């Protein structure tokens, strides 16, 4: 027996620590596992009684790079810190810890508790300088070894990714074919992906695109990968999170992008946790190759989508940069710029039902920049907008009809593909049932149940399709087309129709208007100068009166004339008020 093993060590238990990094190593490297269990015999040889030898093997299949999920190592360290362990047996240092931090912490505990560390090569006393030096070198080499192994493996992986050849679980709508990314051969999957990009292009909002799918009962595909490379498509209602992930993914623009997320370890409330971060720019990604595979959209449209998503985000105090059309009475919300300072103006409601365009720029000790009532500006801009849209009535009406027909055809095609898939799955379940031997009732009953389920699903899809045809105009009749042409030729009537919402009006304005710049004018009289920047690059200028607050609340002259007339007839105040209300006249605040 070694002179380092003393009686006080033999009086305490010996712990044999056994670990393999993966379950595959446990099954395939059985010789290594047997050698670790054989350390029990070494402990007996050094003088420990069998009853005082404990095997800790609950960390089989766990990596030694961290002690976070290794309950066996945590229990071992806790027992050492309580002075309950005489010696730790391990095949080599790397079995105890691949992390220098975990390893040196364990060495410190062993030195304080007078616990020996024993492997196949020797017996070490952590309180002895020479032994501690050897153990420290072994721990550092073990840590460096795992680092070098990881670096080699990751280096080869990065090299392959930078060439655009690394195969990874593809996003929904793509599959790998002989190492190349190609469109998913499933037509329904392709159509659904293209429809999402089209709806975002038309609606300008992720929420509206998602609402379109759910309103029309359209399901959206999602690829689920399984261990071993197999993956399957599942169909669910579209969610905002799923739509955002697709719109932000550069793969759909034909770019091979790998390494867009980063994972690092951080300290949270005293615990080491993994933090996932999304890298914003392509310069931060590990690999980025343009035009690497077929694309659903162009790169220009992809960048425009990202810009639009960013603009749609609501900013502080409700200021948003040219975002999507939202509810609210101010028609130019998000389009208005301050002519004084160039900042984006936001919409407020300082008075009930009276929206105001207001610039928030303030200097120290000064009041806000300026503001103006929204409806005067909106009325003038709408008047010019309707004049601009008047000349090409025939071309516009035909284009509108063609677009409505195209959208109806696209929606109908989605339903037809869904029906086709449901019929295929029902027929496939029928073929499987017919292929089984009648005597094999155990299998036949299961297949019969599955066939009945597919038939019920088919009936449900057919029922939903018939409802959608009647409710959502999947097919346009001649009368529908005639009504669309009539509305398109009479834009003012369409604008004033009770079915045209404020959001619809805002979206129509945004088709032609890029920005509206408002500047206050004080001489020769108070007014607001409106400069409209059209998307064609043209600029129009308008001037709108800007009365003071007192002027805006002044009783209208027609009302004053009626009051004078009734007063001349010796009417009392209450009788005059009743007569004014009967005539539908309002005071300066717009009230009875």
Q: Angle, to 10 degrees, between the axis of helix 502-512 and the axis of helix 374-389?
A: 60
* H or E element, residue 164: none
Q: How far is residue 37's CA from residue 464's CA, in Å, rounded to a whole number?
A: 64
Q: Any residues with CB less than 8 A from the CB of 242 and at least 6 apart, and which?
A: 220, 222
Cα–Cα distances (Å) from 338 to 331, 371, 416, 542, in that order, read 16, 9, 50, 15
For residue 584, give the 3-state DSSP assignment.
coil
Judge whether 49 and 8 are in contact, CB under 8 Å: no
Q: Which residue has the tokens 């090409």?
A: 392
Provide the 8-state DSSP code for 341: T
Which of 7, 21, 66, 99 is labelled catalytic?
21
Q: How far is residue 543's CA from residue 530's CA, in Å, rounded to a whole number?
A: 6
Residue 9's nearest CA partner among 124, 97, 90, 108 is 124
Q: How far is residue 28's CA from residue 60's CA, in Å, rounded to a whole number?
A: 13
Residue 480: both structure tokens together: 């529908």
H-assigned helices in 82-186: 93-96, 100-113, 129-162
Judge whether 11 and 50 are in contact, CB under 8 Å: no
- CA angle centred on 343, ends 337 and 347, rounded to 5°: 60
Q: Which residue has the tokens 């449209």?
A: 301
Residue 21 appears among annotated catalytic residues: yes
Hey, which residues are catalytic here? Answer: 21
């Amino acid at each position: 027996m070694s002179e380092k093993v003393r009686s006080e060590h033999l009086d305490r238990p010996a712990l044999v620590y056994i670990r393999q990094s993966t379950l595959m190593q446990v099954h395939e490297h059985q010789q290594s596992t047997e050698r670790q269990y054989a350390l029990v015999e070494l402990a007996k040889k050094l003088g420990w009684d069998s009853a005082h030898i404990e095997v800790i093997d609950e960390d089989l299949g766990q990596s030694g790079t961290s002690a976070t999920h290794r309950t066996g190592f945590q229990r071992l360290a806790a027992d050492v810190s309580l002075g309950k362990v005489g010696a730790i047996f391990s095949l080599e240092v790397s079995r105890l810890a691949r992390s220098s931090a975990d390893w040196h912490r364990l060495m410190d505990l062993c030195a304080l508790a007078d616990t020996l560390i024993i492997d196949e090569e020797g017996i070490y006393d952590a309180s002895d300088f020479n032994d501690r030096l050897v153990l420290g070198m072994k721990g550092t080499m073990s840590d460096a070894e795992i680092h070098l192994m990881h670096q080699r493996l990751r280096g080869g992986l990065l090299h392959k990714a930078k060439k655009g050849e690394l195969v990874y679980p593809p996003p929904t709508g793509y599959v790998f074919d002989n190492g190349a990314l190609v469109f998913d051969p499933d037509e329904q999957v392709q159509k659904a992906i293209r429809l999402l990009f089209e709806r975002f292009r038309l609606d300008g909002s992720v929420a509206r695109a998602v609402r379109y799918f759910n309103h029309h009962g359209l399901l959206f595909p999602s690829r689920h990968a399984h261990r071993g490379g197999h993956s399957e498509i599942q169909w669910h209602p579209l969610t905002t999170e799923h739509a955002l992930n697709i719109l932000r993914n550069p793969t759909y623009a034909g770019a091979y992008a790998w390494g867009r997320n980063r994972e690092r370890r951080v300290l949270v409330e005293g615990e080491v946790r993994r933090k996932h971060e999304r890298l914003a720019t392509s310069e931060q990604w590990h690999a980025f190759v343009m035009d690497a595979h077929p694309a659903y959209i162009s790169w220009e449209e992809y960048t425009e989508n990202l810009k639009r998503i960013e603009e749609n985000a609501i900013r502080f105090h409700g200021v948003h940069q040219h975002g999507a059309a939202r509810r609210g009475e101010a028609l130019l919300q998000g389009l208005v710029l301050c002519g004084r300072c160039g900042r984006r103006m936001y919409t407020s409601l300082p008075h009930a039902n009276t929206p105001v365009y207001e610039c928030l720029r303030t200097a120290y000790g000064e009041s806000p920049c300026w503001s103006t009532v929204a409806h005067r500006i909106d009325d003038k801009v709408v008047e010019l907008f309707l004049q601009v849209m008047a000349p090409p009535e025939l071309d516009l009406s035909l284009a509108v009809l063609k677009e409505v027909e195209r959208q109806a055809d696209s929606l109908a095609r989605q339903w037809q593909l869904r029906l086709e898939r449901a019929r295929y799955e029902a027929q496939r379940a029928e073929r499987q049932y017919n292929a089984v031997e009648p005597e094999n009732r155990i299998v036949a009953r299961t297949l019969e149940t599955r066939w009945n389920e597919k038939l019920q699903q088919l009936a449900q899809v057919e029922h939903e399709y018939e409802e959608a045809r009647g409710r959502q105009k999947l097919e346009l009749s001649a009368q529908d087309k005639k009504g669309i042409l009539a509305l398109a030729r009479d834009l003012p009537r369409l604008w004033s129709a009770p079915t045209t919402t404020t959001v619809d009006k805002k979206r129509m304005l945004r088709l032609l208007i890029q920005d509206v710049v408002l500047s206050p004018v004080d001489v020769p009289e108070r007014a607001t100068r409106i400069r409209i920047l059209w998307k064609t690059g043209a600029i129009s200028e308008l001037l709108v009166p800007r009365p003071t607050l007192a002027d805006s609340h002044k009783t209208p002259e027609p009302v004053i004339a009626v009051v004078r007339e009734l007063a001349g007839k010796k009417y009392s105040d209450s009788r005059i008020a009743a007569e004014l209300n009967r005539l539908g006249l309002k005071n300066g605040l717009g009230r009875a």
